[in-house]
Amino acid sequence: MKTALLEKIEQSQLKEETPSFRVGDSVRVHVKIKEGGKERVQVYSGTVIARDGGRANETFTVRRISYGEGVERVFPVHSPYVTKIEVERSGKTRRAKLYYLRQRTSKQSRLKERA
């Protein structure tokens, strides 16, 4: 059970606008990266294979193939470092977690488009 103070702190950390995306969607995540004194935005694109947590602790996992190697990154939805999330393609899935895609390669790992 959360106290009113914890609720107020959590509410202040939530973003007002979060894009609606689901597991199976291909997304482009714009992430702020600090290098020395400079700050830039880098785009990480891939397929959402999982969403975990809730409210301020909500995260999502994005998987992509880079130079023949599978790479996964976990992003907090309400992080100040995640500037924008764009949905490129909506994938049709029947599961909440797509961990089975880790064993699939190239054409096998494609998901059907959601209408």
Domain range for residue 51? 26-101
| CA 23 vs CA 4, 33, 50, 59, 89: distances in Å | 32, 25, 6, 12, 11
pLDDT in tens, 69-114: 889 999 999 988 999 999 998 988 898 999 888 887 776 777 788 7
- Report DSSP letters for 58-85, one per residue: -EEEEEEEETTEEEEEEEETT-TTEEEE
In a domain, 112, yes or no: no
In a domain, 97, yes or no: yes
Return the ∠ at Cα 95 (arms to 92 and 101), rounded to 5°.
Answer: 80
In a domain, 20, yes or no: no
In a domain, 95, yes or no: yes
In a domain, 3, yes or no: no
Residue 37 belongs to domain with CATH number: 2.30.30.790
In a domain, 80, yes or no: yes
pTM of the model: 0.83
pLDDT in tens, 37-64: 999 999 999 999 999 988 888 999 999 9
In a domain, 44, yes or no: yes
Structure tokens that stand for 36 in this block:
């020395």
Number of separate domains in the chain: 1
